[in-house]
Chain A
């Protein structure tokens, strides 16, 4: 007995002796854990700061106010005010004339060219729209505010350093002087960038907008939603409620799990080979994008829908069967309505995934430069993430801010969808 308490005492002394080292090891390990979480969150913060920091300025646009004399001789020499004539007239010349009037001292082809470069190429179209809306303006001088060229925009936003040597600047010294004069005249200002939301893609950064990409994404997602939701719910209902346990259903299960992990680009190859080359569907069209993304999101939605069905307790089924419903009726009228919120949540998450997907769309040609806003699922289109990719590839400095802004819009959509999913889950979550 005393022997036992003796060994207990020595062993306890040894435990005490090791405690300092072990407490330190514990603290180190805990610190490592904190570091890991901290690093992960730091990456997230850096990512957001970098995107928002680069992109927020894209929502404002530098605009220049010009006094434009709408010269009848230039745009409507016949004076008949025919829409066809008015539509095709050279409004750019009027803009150039107004710039020359403002800076009469500028001479020489090269200098004048530099002067014209201060305003966007789209200025003429703005003027055209104004004149078409109100032909009575012809012959008068109006004050017109037009978008500045992207380089001017970058200068005004501080992305081009005015003090840098001239050779390092895209804005030359003479342009800088003109801009400074516009500034003192109060003719240069900044306004909310409507073009960014109203226009399609453009080679000119100041005119490029996300409308086309946004519509393309919406059409693509509509196709995806319309196909994947019914297909996935049906598949989930069969597999979860009716399927016998045999090799065939095992095969389907394994297949679904694997498809969920197949790289998205492989789905793009499938789309290219099957939908475009075999079924000769049009390239670059949202219909093909939607089909490919349907196949890609199906596993996600099926897995979520099965989980939703699984969470409905068997007592509901037994209750329905017990009052004489057929198995099909029990599922359709009793189980499915209860599982529907969970299925919808899964579907929204699948849609969010599809919205952010880029690689398969590159494969099926939704990466072409398309300036028009698509009007349907068969029109050539691009999608929001692909637009990000295209702009990220463009060399102009102004596209960096456009890209970041497009990303902000994309993330906003994703956040909304996920918030919706969370809301749905909270609202309908049931504990049995």
Chain B
């Protein structure tokens, strides 16, 4: 376990070192060579299948050799300390990293059996199938109606205005927002509360009928009540969509997800059923993180 055991012993001979572990110990203990992911990486019938995904930001190797399946109609939570690569991985799934200058992604990511990393794949229809909700609610400076109608409009999903209205209404209903906004669809989306804005963003994402919804810490900017509403919504949406959610809150992962993946400094350490991960982690790092030894 202790790769730099000699240093550890040297440090521990100093008085007081036991209570306050010094830097070499932390480095030795938590920054170690990765030896493959522990747990059930593969599923029988995956919606998405990632194999050997690597991400570089300039010189920085942000994500190392990640392989992971995302199942149908499941919520997969990704947890880990800051900078562990969980958001980076999420953004690979609909190629949002393309917009980041200096970012290189390699490896294979299949969506329903087709490689989305192939150079001839157009990101536009891909993103129509893999929607995304961001950390900070980002409604467009338009009316509530127009916010939800944005996707159907640009993708030409509605053949008529009636159809468009139908999509907007059903999306708002699915996002549990309809009752709160049905009287003010023409009001600006930016005028809603933070939690409502985030649900508007979810409604906006599901209006284009994606197969997968990616959520990047969707509740980190929200109060507990709004968070609870969104978590309930995620659970309902699971019936129709595959959902990947990045969260910094282990409790949230435990509440909403069926499976959990634990990332650490660019490595995928462990994947498994959420119950199993939180009750009986198989990897020492996972256990240390979950029990709050660091993070």
Give the interface of A toward B (CB within 8 A).
1, 4-5, 7-8, 11-12, 14-19, 22-23
How many angstroms between the C-alpha atoms of A398 and B129 in the bound complex?
70
How many angstroms between the C-alpha atoms of A395 and B265 in the bound complex?
77
A15 touches B211 (CB 8 A): no
Question: Is there a chain A Cβ closer than 8 Å to B122's Cβ?
Answer: yes
Minimum C-beta distance from B131 to chain A (A):
11
Please pick, from B73, B125, B211, B239, the residue contacting A8 in the complex, using a CB distance under 8 A: B211
Question: Is there a chain A Cβ closer than 8 Å to B31's Cβ?
Answer: no
With A17-B156, A18-B155, A19-B125 known as contacts, the answer to whether A11 contacts B208 (CB < 8 A) is yes
B73 touches A1 (CB 8 A): yes
Question: Is there a chain A Cβ closer than 8 Å to B240's Cβ?
Answer: yes
Minimum C-beta distance from A352 to chain B (A):
33
Residues in B236-251 with C-beta less than 8 Å from chain A: 239-241
A8 touches B155 (CB 8 A): no
How many angstroms between the C-alpha atoms of A19 and B154 in the bound complex?
10
B240 touches A4 (CB 8 A): yes
How many angstroms between the C-alpha atoms of A378 and B147 in the bound complex?
67
Residues in B210-253 with C-beta less than 8 Å from chain A: 210-211, 239-241
Please pick, from A7, A17, A22, the residue contacting B124 in the complex, using a CB distance under 8 A: A22
Minimum C-beta distance from B169 to chain A (A):
15
List 19 interface pairs A-B (beta carbons < 8 Å), by A numbering.
A1-B240, A4-B240, A5-B211, A7-B209, A8-B129, A8-B209, A8-B211, A11-B128, A11-B157, A12-B209, A14-B155, A14-B156, A15-B125, A15-B157, A18-B155, A18-B156, A19-B122, A19-B124, A23-B122
How many angstroms between the C-alpha atoms of A289 and B129 in the bound complex?
67
Per-position 1/0 for B104-132, Cβ under 8 A of A: 00000000000000000010110011000
How many angstroms between the C-alpha atoms of A5 and B124 in the bound complex?
19
Residues of B within 8 A of A4 (CB): 239-241
Minimum C-beta distance from A55 to chain B (A):
43
| Identity of the chain A residue whose Cβ is nearest the Cβ of B156 in the assembled complex | A18
B240 touches A15 (CB 8 A): no
Residues of B within 8 A of A11 (CB): 128, 155, 157, 208-209
Minimum C-beta distance from A24 to chain B (A):
13
Minimum C-beta distance from B162 to chain A (A):
16
How many angstroms between the C-alpha atoms of A400 and B26 in the bound complex?
78
Minimum C-beta distance from A164 to chain B (A):
60
> What 3 A-B pairs are tightest by C-beta distance, nearest first?
A4-B240, A11-B209, A18-B156
| Identity of the chain A residue whose Cβ is nearest the Cβ of B129 in the assembled complex | A12
Please pick, from A7, A15, A23, the residue contacting B156 in the complex, using a CB distance under 8 A: A15
How many angstroms between the C-alpha atoms of A357 and B225 in the bound complex?
63
How many angstroms between the C-alpha atoms of A319 and B239 in the bound complex?
59
How many angstroms between the C-alpha atoms of A15 and B73 in the bound complex?
23
Minimum C-beta distance from B170 to chain A (A):
10
| Identity of the chain B residue whose Cβ is nearest the Cβ of A4 in the assembled complex | B240
Minimum C-beta distance from B264 to chain A (A):
32
In this complex, which of A15, A16, A23 has the most chain B Cβ atoms within 10 angstroms of its Cβ?
A15
With A1-B73, A19-B122, A19-B124 known as contacts, the answer to whether A8 contacts B156 (CB < 8 A) is no
Residues of A within 8 A of B155 (CB): 11, 14-15, 18
Residues of B within 8 A of A17 (CB): 156
Minimum C-beta distance from A184 to chain B (A):
68
Residues in B50-108 with C-beta less than 8 Å from chain A: 73
How many angstroms between the C-alpha atoms of A15 and B239 in the bound complex?
23
B157 touches A14 (CB 8 A): yes
Minimum C-beta distance from B191 to chain A (A):
29
| Identity of the chain A residue whose Cβ is nearest the Cβ of B208 in the assembled complex | A11
| Identity of the chain A residue whose Cβ is nearest the Cβ of B209 in the assembled complex | A11
How many angstroms between the C-alpha atoms of A1 and B129 in the bound complex?
16
How many angstroms between the C-alpha atoms of A1 and B238 in the bound complex?
10
Residues of A within 8 A of B208 (CB): 11, 15
How many angstroms between the C-alpha atoms of A8 and B129 in the bound complex?
8
Residues of B within 8 A of A19 (CB): 122, 124-125
| Identity of the chain B residue whose Cβ is nearest the Cβ of A26 in the assembled complex | B124
Minimum C-beta distance from A264 to chain B (A):
37
How many angstroms between the C-alpha atoms of A149 and B209 in the bound complex?
83
Residues of B within 8 A of A22 (CB): 124, 154
Residues of A within 8 A of B129 (CB): 8, 12
Minimum C-beta distance from A336 to chain B (A):
37
Please pick, from A1, A5, A7, A16, the residue contacting B125 in the complex, using a CB distance under 8 A: A16
How many angstroms between the C-alpha atoms of A86 and B155 in the bound complex?
92
Minimum C-beta distance from B150 to chain A (A):
14
| Identity of the chain B residue whose Cβ is nearest the Cβ of A23 in the assembled complex | B122
Minimum C-beta distance from B237 to chain A (A):
10
New contact pairs (15) apart from A11-B208, A15-B208, CB-CB < 8 Å: A1-B239, A4-B239, A8-B129, A8-B209, A8-B210, A8-B211, A11-B128, A11-B155, A14-B157, A15-B125, A15-B155, A15-B156, A16-B125, A17-B156, A19-B125
Minimum C-beta distance from B9 to chain A (A):
41
Residues of B within 8 A of A5 (CB): 211
How many angstroms between the C-alpha atoms of A147 and B58 in the bound complex?
65
Residues of B within 8 A of A12 (CB): 125, 128-129, 209
Per-position 1/0 for B148-159, Cβ under 8 A of A: 000000111100
How many angstroms between the C-alpha atoms of A398 and B125 in the bound complex?
65
How many angstroms between the C-alpha atoms of A12 and B156 in the bound complex?
10
How many angstroms between the C-alpha atoms of A14 and B241 in the bound complex?
19
Residues of B within 8 A of A14 (CB): 155-157
How many angstroms between the C-alpha atoms of A15 and B118 in the bound complex?
19
Residues of B within 8 A of A18 (CB): 155-156
Residues of A within 8 A of B210 (CB): 8
How many angstroms between the C-alpha atoms of A19 and B155 in the bound complex?
8
Minimum C-beta distance from B90 to chain A (A):
20
Minimum C-beta distance from B119 to chain A (A):
15
How many angstroms between the C-alpha atoms of A23 and B154 in the bound complex?
12
| Identity of the chain A residue whose Cβ is nearest the Cβ of B155 in the assembled complex | A15
Residues of A within 8 A of B156 (CB): 14-15, 17-18
| Identity of the chain A residue whose Cβ is nearest the Cβ of B128 in the assembled complex | A15
Residues of B within 8 A of A15 (CB): 124-125, 128, 155-157, 208
Per-position 1/0 for B189-223, Cβ under 8 A of A: 00000000000000000001111000000000000
Minimum C-beta distance from B16 to chain A (A):
32
How many angstroms between the C-alpha atoms of A8 and B210 in the bound complex?
6
Residues of B within 8 A of A23 (CB): 122
How many angstroms between the C-alpha atoms of A12 and B211 in the bound complex?
10
How many angstroms between the C-alpha atoms of A18 and B122 in the bound complex?
13
| Identity of the chain B residue whose Cβ is nearest the Cβ of A22 in the assembled complex | B124
| Identity of the chain B residue whose Cβ is nearest the Cβ of A10 in the assembled complex | B209
